[in-house]
Structure 1
Amino acid sequence: MQLKIDGYSEFETQVIDSLNYLKKHTDYASIKFELDSLQKTLFKIGYIENEIKNIKRLNDTSFYSQIHLKKKFKTIYIYYNKKDVDGSVLNAISDNVSDDYFELEFSKAENALNYINSKISGNGLPFSRLYLSNIKIRDKSNLEAHLIVESSEQKRIINDIIIKGYEKFPRSYLKHYLKIKPSQLFDLNKIQNKTEQLNSLSFANEIKSPEVLFSKDSTTLFLYLEKAKSNSFDGFLGFGTNEQTSKLEFDGYLNLNLTNNLNFGESFRLLYKSDENDQKTFEVDASLPYLFKSPIGVDLLLRIFKRDSSFTTINQSAKLHYQIHAKHKIYAGIVSTESNNLLTENATPSITDYKTQYYTLAYQFLNSQSYNLLFPIRSKFYLETGFGNRKNSNNLEKQSQFSIDAFKIFNLNQKNSIYLRLNGSNLISDTYFENELLRFGGINSIRGFEENSLFSTLYGLINTEYRFQLNNSIYIHTIIDAAYFENKTLNTEEKLFGYGFGFGILTKAGLFRFNYANGKTENTQFKLSNSKIHLSLTANF
């Protein structure tokens, strides 16, 4: 069946047609419903006196109707009581607010009233109701009305929070991470927004929206959570050809992360790395959040680095952190380093025993996209600075260090995205020892180079990838990396580039990644023998 609707003039017909009403219908009931809907739409945009004049059946398949729009009212003046509505709420929706009325475009009145009601409800009055009373014509194009607010006199607060599904969920995360606690004014919209942040945690998920039980004198909030697999085992195997010996060499690492096994939200990481430059790294760190139910947590780290038979370096750090918001965290702490020269013969002055002690400050921003299993973190920003002294047998010298690690995924659409990462560090000192230089290179920095094969006093690198997701578990990507570094012990400056491709597959065992990259310096020719292949598997359990 076809429906044709006209107005009482050419202009009225144009207004009706601009609303794109449904013209094809299956029966008369559908036609009647469409006319009622169209009348309501006309009312909302200011034609409050619109009237359906007739509905005619032209033949078996066609109906005709005519609507008289009449006058359009552009503005409504709403009178209110100051005790019912806060002035700051009205200023957010109206440019003209006086002591007893505020002015609105009539077409925006419904959304404005919904906004006012949400603010009143969020102030501990969830059963509030408001409406316009005594609506009448003010002049040719304006209306006026009175705002009536009905709500209980007693404000609702959260009296109790009950967790279903994961009863041992650490309660400190409710108070300090989500900012939800008993005795807080009840606001369901804010609670729903906050509980969605639970999906940013690696060890818990929200399985359904929160529910509320209202009784005469109490309000109980129910949260529905489940414990997630948050432990991970990560490793990679790399191999390439040694330019001097022309032999195939292997390198790799093992990285174990244990999270929330004690239902405290704690994390523990163990790393062991051995690479083709005869360098070995052992690292263990722990993070203990919300100590003694306070908003303060502690991070502890021990790192031991050994380079062939030249030197060893031991780093120890203790930092306090404070969770400002689910996405924001700040750190403050102390870092000490001790390095020992292992060379007993042919000792070089560039490697010597020293000790350093830094006081550090850091800030972290983390934004997740938990719906994406391949890339659960959308963006990260970490900035750290440290100031202290280096002491050796000869003198005491002031030093400072700055580092940054940031990345962002730009989602072009559901399948295509661009990954951009910036990483860098700078050691500032009057003199430098070889065994205190910054080390980088490899799968987690500039790809196409051996792990930790590059030494510098300053470096900065950019990793870029164009990613294409074939489905929810497989993706392919390009590799285009660039880096710049300085080594003041050798008075060198160098630009580096890495090119390649890779793919990732999410299997039952975990995320398997393959990277093929070729690295070159600015003034060297491309050599296929410089290519590196990196394989890694991250398994969750």
Structure 2
Amino acid sequence: MYTLFNVKKLLFLLLIICSLFASESYSQNLRLKIKGTSDTDSHTIDSIGYVSTPHKNYVSIANEIKTLQKKLSKLGYIENKCSPAIKLNDSTFSTTFELKKKYHTIYIYYDNTTIDASILKAISKRVFDTYFELDFKTIENSLHYINSKNIEKGFPFSKLRLANIVPTENLKLRADLVLESHKEPRTINNIIIRGYELFPKAYLNHFFKIKPKQIYNSDNIKRKTELFNNLNFANQIKPPEVLFSKDSTIVYLYIEKSKSNSFNGFLGFGTNTETGKLEFDGYLDLNLINNLNYGESLKLLYKSDEGNQKTFETNLSLPYLFKSPIGINLRLHIFKKDSLFTTINQSAKLNYLINSNHKIYSGVLTSQSSNLLSLNTNTNIKDYKTTAFTFAYEYTKTQSNNLLFPLHSNLYIETTLGKRISSDIENKQTGITLNAFTIINLNKKNSLFLKVNSANLISNTYLENELLRFGGINSIRGFEENSLQASFYSTINTEYRLQLGNNLYIHTITDASYFENKMLHRKEKLFGYGFGLGIITKSGLFKLNYANGKSENQKFKLSNSKVHLSLTTQF
């Protein structure tokens, strides 16, 4: 028994030793040495480069030799040959390459009835009716480009290859370009939406510009469906898919309806410089979007400002009327100043969406103002009626990867041409409005926000109840809401923003404004300074702004500071 036990122990030790040696042999790194049949060939091979070590096995070495052969062929050494790999020792293999001739140019003959010469001119400077010339090194990229253009024409399964390759004089080659594809281009037969089946179909035709009977192009469809990032009422769940059959092409879009309604409000408070009392102002802003699954939007705004100013506004937008590219915007705006006057503005505009970023407007605007004073002690306030034609352009760019700042840029320019009638006196008027903002992203956390608001009312005479009103959180901060009157004003808002997370940022406030009141012959510069923060909570986006406003020749006073609070909730 004792001897048998020793034998088993010895066998077990031998097994361990063999396993160790086997493991060491298996994990041994192999080396590959490649040289040319001449010094010139060796220099060319070394300049191209190859992986000499480590290689785990012979298969890896064989693959590396094939890779080098392909690299040489792409450079023009299409006749290169290599000798079988020789094992020099336990860890080193060697092979020799003979590069032979290097071809620099290839003449490719093509059928001009199937391949447009204009496509070839993008890749070759020498294109003729039956053939074109290429630098040999550009063959692969050039054929890929030609095939991609053919795919764009509705041939998703087309293939290109070179046939009958033969050498000619002066290190040049000749080849035939063979195109393999269907005789007829594929067109989209149907578009099926999964997930949000009630998605407004008019958006497919006019916003995304994807429709049946359109030439099928996979890259084009992918690029167009990325425009879902510009919609605020629908998201793309996953990339589109395509079902090909013998006689049809069906595109599947996967969409979900997103929360797009929003409720926004703010509360502002400050000290009245005349009475010394604390005064409050604020507004409620309700936006209802796509509740009827037409892409429509309805905006309701009620604002109560300091100085007993009240504003009510409703704005209805209906896109793609009767499935056409034309939409309509209807607006009603009522403004009441204490017990002095009431002004009602109404407008109806038709809009045309050029593409997902650009839109133009044209319509009619009417205004009617009533003097509420029983005794007309203020001669600058009069009843009047205004009718004008309006033209506008809007540009919008989004950045959907940012929850805090989903809009990157916006530009809105509007001009109005009309006349005002007051006391049976007619006066021609022109109005110009510019609203624009953009975000300059310095890096992922730091950005600059720039905003410009300008308006100009051009008229021979002016009434107090028709003047432009500005000031407050949406124009120059640090001033009471709509407390400033002007015939012309321009405001610049700047913020340096530091994003502390996906849902929190802080920012500075530096505002400047210049305005003119031609009725009072007044010109003035205003400034606002402060800071703020924004945070996404469970209830929505909460903003806090603290700003102090002053005129050009006025000293800073803490009593002029304003605190603005707002909360935007989506549902």
> What is the alpha-carbon distance in structure 2 between the residues aligned to residue 307 and residue 21 of structure 1?
82
Q: Give how far 1:21 is off.
A: 5.9
Structure 1 match to 2:215: 185
Aligned residue identity for 1:241 = T
From 482, 493, 517, the counterpart of 1:463: 493
Q: Deviations over 1:394-445 (max 9, x none)?
A: 4101111111112222222222222222221111111111111111111111
Letter aligned with residue 335 of structure 2? F
Question: Secondary structure, in 3 states, of the residue corresponding to 1:237?
Answer: strand
Residues 316-465 of structure 1 aligned to structure 2 (within 5 Å): 316-345=346-375, 347-465=377-495
Deviates more, 1:394-403 or 1:479-488: 479-488
* Matched-pair contact (CA < 8 Å) for 1:7–1:69: no
- The farther-off stretch of 130-139 and 492-501 is 130-139
Partner in structure 1 of residue 70 of structure 2 = 40
Give the TM-score normalised by structure 1.
0.93
Corresponding residue number in structure 1 for 2:56 = 27
**Does the alignment pair 1:515 with 2:545?**
yes
Tell me how far apart the structure 1 counterparts of residues 418 and 353 of structure 2 sit (CA, whole Å): 26
Following TM superposition, by how much is the alpha carbon of 1:364 offset from its aligned partner in structure 2, in angstroms? 1.1
Letter in 1 for 2:355: H
Query: Match of 2:542, as an amino acid?
Result: F
Q: Distance in 2 between matches of 1:218 and 1:22?
A: 48
1:300 and 2:330 correspond: yes
Structure 2 unmatched runs, 5+: 1-28
1:20 Cα offset (Å): 7.4
Amino acid at match of 1:248: L
**What letter matches 1:356 in structure 2?**
T
Change (3 A) 1:151 1:461: same
Summarize deviations over 1:309-361 as a string: whole Å, max 9, x none.
11111000001111111211111100000111112236212111111111011
Letter in 2 for 1:477: H
Per-residue CA shift, 1:507-540, capped at 9, x if unaligned? 2211111222222222222233322221111111
Shift of 1:38: 4.6
Task: Provide the secondary structure at the position in 2 that maps to 1:470.
Answer: strand
The Cα of 1:174 is off from its aligned counterpart by: 0.7
Shift of 1:96: 2.3
What is residue 196 of structure 1 aligned with on the other side?
226
> Percent identical across equivalent pairs?
58
Moved more, 432-441 or 9-18: 9-18
> What's the C-alpha RMSD, in Å, of the aligned pairs?
2.6
Q: Given the alignment of the two structures, is residue 255 of structure 1 paired with residue 304 of structure 2, yes or no?
A: no
- The code of the aligned residue for 2:324 comes to S
- Give, in whole Å, the separation in 2 of the partners of 1:518 and 1:506: 25
Rounded to whole Å, the distance in 2 between the matches of 1:453 and 1:528 is 18
Helix, strand or coil at the partner of 2:506: strand
Instruction: Give the 3-state SS of the residue equivalent to 2:240 in structure 1.
Output: strand
Q: How many aligned positions are there?
A: 541
**Distance in 2 (alpha carbons) for counterparts of 1:187 and 1:343:** 67
Q: 1:134 aligns with which of 141, 158, 164?
A: 164
Counterpart of 1:489 in structure 2 is 519
1:500 Cα shift? 2.0
The range that moved more, 404-413 or 217-226, is 404-413
Query: How much has 1:12 moved relative to structure 2?
Result: 7.0
Q: How far apart are the structure 2 equivalents of 1:259 and 1:471?
A: 28
Q: Greater shift after overlay, 258-267 or 409-418?
A: 409-418
Give the conservation status (yes or no) of the 8 Å contact 2:32–2:53: no
CA deviation string 1:216-266 (max 9, x = no partner): 211111111110111011111112222222222221111100001001111
Q: Name the amino acid aligned to 2:339.
A: S
**Alignment-derived partner of residue 502 in structure 2:** 472
Structure 1 144/287 Cα, relative in aligned 2: closer, same or farther at 3 Å? same
Letter in 1 for 2:485: F
Please identify the structure whose Cα radius of gyration is greater.
Answer: 2
Pick closer, same or farther for the CA change 1:312–1:157 going to 2, 3 Å. same
Aligned equivalent of 2:242, options 189, 212, 235: 212
Q: Distance in 2 between matches of 1:121 and 1:36?
A: 31
CA contact (8 A) 2:328 2:350 kept: yes
Cα distance change on mapping 1:357 and 1:126 into 2, 3 Å = same
Distance in 2 (CA, whole Å) between partners of 1:69 and 1:142 is: 16
Change (3 A) 1:10 1:473: farther
Question: Match for residue 81 of structure 1?
Answer: 111
Helix, strand or coil at the partner of 1:179: coil
Conserved 8 A contact 1:419-1:467: yes
Q: 2:201 aligns with which of 171, 174, 186?
A: 171
**Cα contact 1:362–1:382 (8 A) shared by 2:** yes
TM-fit CA distance, 1:63: 7.2
For the 8 Å contact 1:383–1:403, the answer to whether it is kept is: yes
Distance verdict in 2 for CA 1:66–1:394, change over 3 Å: farther
On the 8 A contact 1:241/1:248 being kept in 2, the answer is yes
Q: CA 1:89–1:243 in structure 2 vs 1: closer, same or farther (change >3 Å)?
A: same
Aligned to 1:148: 178
Cα deviation 1:164-187 (Å, max 9, x = unaligned): 000000111111111111111111
Task: Using structure 2 for the length normalisation, give the TM-score.
Answer: 0.88
Structure 1 residues 537 and 23: CA distance shift in structure 2, 3 A: farther
